[in-house]
């Protein structure tokens, strides 16, 4: 991240250490209770974080232009979280400095009948970013091993052959889905797509506070959904589903980051930092121009000057 005159080495060192600890290494057995849901640092303050995030967004904006011109890579950002964890806000703030023409945000809702008549990855293929673009999945293909695992009756609507939905689905069913997802992401990476996956890790207490705020604040009433309270009853089941999915699918080519989400300013800074470093590490360059192209440019310039 670019260092401004007001970003101290201590602040940047702490940021690097904290963000590095959020990456889930391949093979790591994830237990979410071992991961913080709130900011745990000491040097950084909210004001400092906002300033550093602004610096990072500015740099990502510059790199986005090179990503588009290079036309060899795309970037897919996967955002997963419990309700009220701040996915929408993260998209709004972190992507605020980017050219909207190069950003594609897709929010996946309950699949349609047409989507259910295809394999569970089909609709996600349709939404992938093209080369030079940044794609954001607000919820994603992981819903098929998260909400479907908590509510296995959803699998019945997929009408899969050989699956008896009148009985509990065996663990082998979910392991096969993890395997398919890993293959899917491996294909994307080999085709030039950088895959970054973020789980915004919210505490149950903070979710309760945010839900109450949506009820008590009239300006936030429109955000409230009774379904969020209903799904809260399955909190532990969702935590286990996330643990299993992240453990099985955090790879070197498509890593997961578990981002503390109780403090919105911190989750947004952490996400910006990972995004900036990832694109910067690609070491992208604007395309070089051949001698023939330079000659064409010179001729065009001469014609324009002489008009």
Distance of CA 28 to the CA centre of its chain: 20
Is 79 in a helix, a strand, or coil? strand
State the pLDDT at residue 93: 83
Return d(Cα 71, Cα 3) in angstroms, integer: 28
The string of DSSP codes covering 124-153 is HHHTPPPTT-EEEEES-GGGGGTHHHHSTH
Residues of the chain with pLDDT > 90, as a percent, come to 67
Residue-wise over 252-266: b if at least 16 C-beta within 10 A, else e?
A: eebbbbbbbbbbbbb
More confident: 174 or 289:
174
In this predicted structure, the answer to whether residue 235 has a pLDDT above a threshold of 90 is: yes
Report long-range pairs for 41-49 (Cβ below 8 Å, ≥24 apart).
41/14, 41/15, 42/14, 43/8, 43/10, 43/11, 43/14, 44/11, 44/14, 44/15, 44/266, 44/269, 46/263, 46/265, 48/7, 48/11, 49/265, 49/266, 49/269
Given a contact cutoff of 8 angstroms between Cβ atoms, the answer to whether 138 and 131 are in contact is no
Question: What confidence tens digit (pLDDT) does each residue in 59-103 have?
Answer: 888 889 999 999 999 999 999 999 999 999 999 887 887 888 889
What share of residues in the chain are helix, strand, coil (percent, to 5)? 55, 10, 35
What pLDDT, in 10s, does the model give residues 251-298? 999 999 999 999 999 999 999 999 988 988 888 888 888 889 999 999
Distance CA 304, CA 67 (A): 30
Residue with tokens 């609507």: 157
Binned at pLDDT 50, 70 and 90, residue 5 comes out as very low
220 DSSP 8-state letter: G
Q: Is the pLDDT of residue 2 over 80?
A: no
Domain ranges, ordered by start, for the chain: 9-305
Query: pLDDT per residue over 106-150, tens digit each?
Result: 999 989 999 999 999 999 999 999 999 999 999 999 999 999 999
Residue 26's pLDDT band, with cuts at 50, 70 and 90, is: very high
Q: Looking at the domain that runs over 9-305, which CATH code has it been given?
A: 3.40.50.300
Please report the pLDDT score of residue 63 as a whole number: 87
Which has the minimum average pLDDT: 26-30, 172-176, 213-217? 213-217
Q: Are strands 134-138 and 193-201 parallel, antiparallel or unpaired?
A: unpaired
The 10s digit of each residue's pLDDT in 192-203 is 999 999 999 999
The structure's pTM equals: 0.91
What per-residue confidence (pLDDT) applies to 140?
97
Average model confidence (pLDDT) across the chain: 91
Structural tokens at position 250 = 């955090």
The whole-number average pLDDT for the span 22-48 is 93
Confidence of residue 35 (pLDDT cuts 50, 70, 90): very high
Mean pLDDT within 202-211: 96
pLDDT reported for residue 6: 62
The bridge status of strand 256-260 relative to strand 193-201 is parallel
Phi–psi pair at 76, nearest 5 degrees: -115, 120
Sheet hosting strand 134-138, strand order edge to edge: 23-24, 256-260, 193-201, 74-81, 134-138, 103-107
**Between 254 and 8, the higher pLDDT residue:** 254
- When pLDDT is averaged across residues 27-43 and rounded to a whole number, the result is 94
pLDDT recorded at residue 43: 84
**pLDDT band at 224, cuts 50/70/90?**
confident
């Amino acid at each position: 991240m670019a260092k401004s005159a007001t970003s101290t080495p201590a602040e940047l060192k702490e940021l690097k250490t904290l963000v590095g600890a959020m990456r889930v290494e391949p093979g790591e057995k994830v237990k979410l209770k071992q991961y913080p849901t709130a900011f745990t640092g000491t040097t950084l303050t909210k004001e400092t974080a906002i300033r550093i995030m602004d610096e990072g967004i500015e740099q990502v904006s510059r790199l986005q232009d090179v990503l588009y011109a290079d036309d060899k890579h795309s970037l897919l950002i996967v955002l997963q979280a419990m309700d009220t964890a701040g996915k929408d806000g993260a998209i709004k703030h972190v992507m605020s400095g980017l050219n909207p023409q190069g950003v594609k945000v897709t929010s996946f809702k309950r699949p349609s009948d047409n989507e259910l008549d295809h394999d569970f990855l089909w609709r996600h293929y349709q939404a992938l970013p093209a080369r030079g673009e940044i794609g954001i999945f607000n919820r994603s293909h992981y819903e098929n091993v998260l909400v479907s695992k908590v509510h296995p009756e959803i699998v019945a609507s997929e009408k899969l052959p050989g699956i008896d939905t009148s009985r509990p689905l065996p663990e082998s069913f979910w392991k096969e889905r993890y395997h398919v997802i890993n293959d899917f992401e491996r294909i994307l990476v080999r085709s030039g797509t950088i895959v970054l996956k973020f789980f915004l890790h919210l505490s149950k207490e903070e979710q309760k506070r945010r839900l109450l705020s949506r009820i008590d604040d009239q300006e936030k009433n429109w955000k409230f959904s009774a379904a969020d309270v209903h799904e809260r009853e399955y909190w532990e089941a969702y935590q286990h589903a996330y643990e299993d999915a992240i453990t099985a699918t955090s790879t070197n080519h498509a890593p997961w980051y578990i981002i503390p989400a109780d403090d919105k300013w911190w989750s947004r800074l952490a996400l910006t930092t990972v995004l900036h470093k990832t694109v910067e590490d690609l070491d992208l360059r604007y395309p070089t121009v051949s001698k023939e192209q330079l000659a064409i440019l010179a001729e065009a310039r001469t014609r324009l000057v002489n008009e």
